[in-house]
Structure 1
Amino acid sequence: MSELARRIAITIGALLIFRLGCYVPIAGLSPQASVIHSSAIARLSIFSLSIIPYLTAAIIIQLVSVVWGRLSALERSGEAGRRSIMGYTLILTLLLGAFQAFGIASALQDIRGLVVEPGAWFLTATTATLVGGVFFLVWLSELITRHGVGNGLALILSVGIVVLLPSEVAGALELARQGAVSSNLLLFGAVLWIALVVLIVLVEGARRNVPVQYAARQVGKRVFAPRSSVLSIKLNSAGFLVPTTVAPWILYLPLALATSVIGQTPRLAAAYAHLQFGQPVHIVLVSIAVFVVAFIYTARVLDPEQSAEALHKIGGTIPGIAPGEATVDHLDRIASLTTVVGAVYLVAVSLIPEVLVLGGTALPYKIGGGSVLIVVCTILDLKNQVRGLSRAGRGGERI
């Protein structure tokens, strides 16, 4: 079996395990739980929390490293530093997962007839089960990333989104058959999503190429002739997971904490109402959150000072720009401009369905722009990795 085939088999096997786990119910529920709506039953599996607590913890650690130099230095200190960062991430994952799992277990107990034996044992067992499911998915995602094809974290998220598509499409077609929505609206929605996918593919592949000139240099007995190259900067350097994931819980986490501390109040209820999907306040705040997070995360991913220093070490200069501070300022201007364009693009993609709802054109399905962005970017990354492994395999065969 070739290396590519082996990696694809590992990836498919891991994703099948993930999907099978989504149908394993939490222990202690009454058989009468089947009367609950099927979508609710799906959320009561051992993977109910999915991998979101780990993703949230990783994003928090990354954002903290932007403003806390010690954590950032630890991340760049080598393998030992990266292991420490991973340890902090897993500890935070445990805390976030336990908090969410206990909340779910408590809510299940409050549903009459759902839990066979409510009490401390059910709370403990359910919390442990859900947190264990999160850590199993963390291990599974790492297995895919290391030994499979693609980014395991993104693939698990994407599969969770893709499996919803058949039911969403079937529901939309049924509404059209009943006359609840017009066929023109369905056609408009299909054209909109095709255009959105095309936009994502184009923007994610867009680069701002900065010309770089390398002078002649000698390394040992080997002499390297002068050459030209480019420093490629992605239009969307912030990626797709961080901005689209962080923005919602920036809004809802403070409300959730306030509710847990002081309970539900009229003011909190009004705040929740204003932050519902399609509300003007929600659109404005999510736009600001996505834009700001894109800028913060790009500052971490794309550091002009580090790039200028790396160019200087290998003898690279930008034509017409002096080395040192002038190069840093030049790269900073380019990075800022591309970040503005990339942030506007992320805001537009994330809010297209919501703006349609606000305008009175509610599409008959719930798949949002952020979900489409995650799936398309994951497929693009998967395609690039498969192409690279295929080329490496052909090169090995020629050798």
Structure 2
Amino acid sequence: MVVSQGRSPSAQETFLQMAQAAGLRSRLLVTIGLLVLVRLGVYIPVPGIDRAAFSDFVQNGGAGGVLGFLDIIGGGGLSLVGIFALGILPFINASIIMQLLTAAIPALEDLQKNEGEAGRRKISQVTRYVAFGWTIVQSTMLSSFLLRDFAYDFGVPFVVETVIALTAGSMFVMWVGELITERGLGNGASLLIFLNIVSSLPRILGDTVDVAQTGGREEIGGIVILFLVFIATIIGIVFVQEGTRRIPIVSARRQVGRKLYLEKSNYLPLRLNQGGVMPIIFASSMLIIPLSLVQYIRNPAFAEFMSRNFTPTSPLYILVYLVMIVFFSYFYASLVVNPEDMSKNLKKMGASIPGIRPGRATTDYIGKVLNRLTFLGAIFLGLVAVVPSLVESATRVSTFNGFGATSLLILVGVAIDTAKQIQTYVISQRYEGMVKQ
């Protein structure tokens, strides 16, 4: 195949390389095999539980719909109470905790920035320990909840056995995710969540088709409106995920001997959404805490307040959700981009922004642009998080219970990142073929 060195690989070239290139093909097969293995583990049940009753409880919006959302992220493992019920979520939570600690503790920040690959390996090891501890906490809470209402056998042995099974399953899934990242295609943890969400789509679409067949014009109209909203949301997510503000920069003239190198124009890309899906995930995780307390605090007044004011369509819930999304958007933007470091790097390279003096003025300018971009990205994330739930409530279509903005963001974001990595491998194979020729 004759290809152009400068252009991006076409779909035909990508699929051809995936079928013919040994390195890319082996990575693809490893990824598919490990993902299938994890899906099979979801259906291995934890003994001693009335799974039918618990599955009905989850599907009917138990615990304020929180369990329905976690069940979609876990690929149905939670409602089935399989050994992979917790899945990769404890590792994701541990990664969030480590990001917060890295920003707050100077020793961890120095380990990440200045120790290179060895420092990153140490942080990864600490993250695994945090994930192990967090898994024990989550599995203990889940087993205690199951013991109270859905377990056949009562007592401490049931809790201990369930905690051991869920913890071992979650640690195995974490290991598989790291194996996919190392030897497969894409980010392992993200792909596992992507697979879990995709696996729930047939059930959701089947329930929606049943409602459309048995319902009247109002139900069909509501389903059509909801699908249009989801399609518009996906298009908006793609534009925002790929949207960047290009700040022009110029390099100074250099003279080496008798040769004069003229100044070069380039740009500094700043993404519109620096934090990706993380602000929504962390805001959702924080809002799960008060909803989960209802199951453990048997106070009628507290339960009534939460059921009235902390539903996904209540004004208080929406307000708190939007504020937390904006806050965590700025927090993650500060973790990803440091205007002062950017200014120093530009100065070291002999580059500058036209019309902006190097040093403090450049730092302030980049910070000002970053704040505006983060605000626009946070407003978009808030709209994406709230609008599908409001439309679902207005159309009274409940078959998408738990599947909303976060799921869409994860699906689109992971698909884009994985496609880019595959294109990178295809381009590398292209250059290898040119060298061999």
The whole-number CA distance in structure 2 between the counterparts of 1:135 and 1:87 is 13
Task: Note if 1:370 corresponds to 2:406.
Answer: yes
Equivalent in the alignment of 1:305: 340
Task: Note if 1:252 corresponds to 2:284.
Answer: no
Kindly state the Cα deviation for residue 35 of structure 1 after the two structures are TM-superposed: 6.8
Letter in 1 for 2:33: G
Q: Pick the aligned partner of 1:161 from 185, 197, 210.
A: 197
SS in 2 for 1:319: coil
Task: Note if 1:327 corresponds to 2:362.
Answer: yes
Structure 2 runs not aligned, ≥5 long:
1-20, 60-75
The whole-number CA distance in structure 1 between the counterparts of 2:289 and 2:123 is 23
Inter-CA distance 258–270: structure 2 relative to 1 (3 Å threshold): closer
Q: Deviations over 1:307-364 (max 9, x none)?
A: 1111111111111111100000110111011111111111111111222245x33333
Equivalent in the alignment of 2:387: 352
Query: How do 1:375-394 residues align onto structure 2 when only pairs under 5 Å count?
Result: 375-394=411-430
The whole-number CA distance in structure 2 between the counterparts of 1:275 and 1:64 is 29
Q: Pick the aligned partner of 1:190 from 227, 231, 255.
A: 227
Q: Deviations over 1:201-253 (max 9, x none)?
A: 1111111001111124479999865311110111111111x112110222232
Task: Note if 1:175 corresponds to 2:229.
Answer: no
The whole-number CA distance in structure 1 between the counterparts of 2:51 and 2:123 is 41
Query: How do 1:101-180 residues align onto structure 2 when only pairs under 5 Å count?
Result: 101-111=139-149, 114-115=151-152, 117-179=153-215
8 Å Cα contact 1:66-1:296 kept in structure 2: no
The whole-number CA distance in structure 2 between the counterparts of 1:229 and 1:16 is 44
Equivalent in the alignment of 2:67: none
The whole-number CA distance in structure 1 between the counterparts of 2:136 and 2:259 is 58
The whole-number CA distance in structure 1 between the counterparts of 2:96 and 2:259 is 44
The whole-number CA distance in structure 2 between the counterparts of 1:292 and 1:222 is 51
Inter-CA distance 277–311: structure 2 relative to 1 (3 Å threshold): same
State the TM-score, normalizing by the size of structure 1.
0.90
Letter in 1 for 2:315: P
**What is the aligned-residue RMSD (CA, Å)?**
2.5
The whole-number CA distance in structure 2 between the counterparts of 1:224 and 1:148 is 43
Q: Pick the aligned partner of 2:44 from 13, 21, 24.
A: 24
The whole-number CA distance in structure 2 between the counterparts of 1:220 and 1:12 is 56
Task: Note if 1:83 corresponds to 2:121.
Answer: yes
SS in 2 for 1:211: strand
The whole-number CA distance in structure 2 between the counterparts of 1:118 and 1:219 is 81
Query: Aligned residues, how many?
Result: 391
Equivalent in the alignment of 2:395: 361
Task: Note if 1:285 corresponds to 2:323.
Answer: no
Query: How do 1:8-47 residues align onto structure 2 when only pairs under 5 Å count?
Result: 8-26=28-46, 28-29=47-48, 33=51, 37=55, 42-43=77-78, 44-47=81-84
8 Å Cα contact 1:304-1:331 kept in structure 2: yes
Kindly state the Cα deviation for residue 14 of structure 1 after the two structures are TM-superposed: 1.3
Inter-CA distance 36–65: structure 2 relative to 1 (3 Å threshold): closer
The whole-number CA distance in structure 2 between the counterparts of 1:272 and 1:219 is 71
Inter-CA distance 221–344: structure 2 relative to 1 (3 Å threshold): farther
The whole-number CA distance in structure 2 between the counterparts of 1:222 and 1:257 is 71
Letter in 1 for 2:82: S
Equivalent in the alignment of 1:207: 244
Q: Deviations over 1:117-140 (max 9, x none)?
A: 543333222101111111111111
Task: Note if 1:54 corresponds to 2:91.
Answer: yes
State the TM-score, normalizing by the size of structure 2.
0.83
Letter in 1 for 2:270: I
Inter-CA distance 99–385: structure 2 relative to 1 (3 Å threshold): same
Letter in 2 for 1:266: P
Inter-CA distance 381–186: structure 2 relative to 1 (3 Å threshold): same
Task: Note if 1:264 corresponds to 2:298.
Answer: yes
Q: Deviations over 1:124-179 (max 9, x none)?
A: 22101111111111111111112111111111111111111111111111112111
Task: Note if 1:3 corresponds to 2:33.
Answer: no
Inter-CA distance 148–133: structure 2 relative to 1 (3 Å threshold): same
SS in 2 for 1:45: coil
8 Å Cα contact 2:83-2:169 kept in structure 1: yes
Inter-CA distance 93–214: structure 2 relative to 1 (3 Å threshold): same
Identity %: 29
The whole-number CA distance in structure 2 between the counterparts of 1:356 and 1:258 is 26
The whole-number CA distance in structure 2 between the counterparts of 1:221 and 1:85 is 49
The whole-number CA distance in structure 1 between the counterparts of 2:54 and 2:360 is 63
Inter-CA distance 212–265: structure 2 relative to 1 (3 Å threshold): same
Letter in 2 for 1:56: N
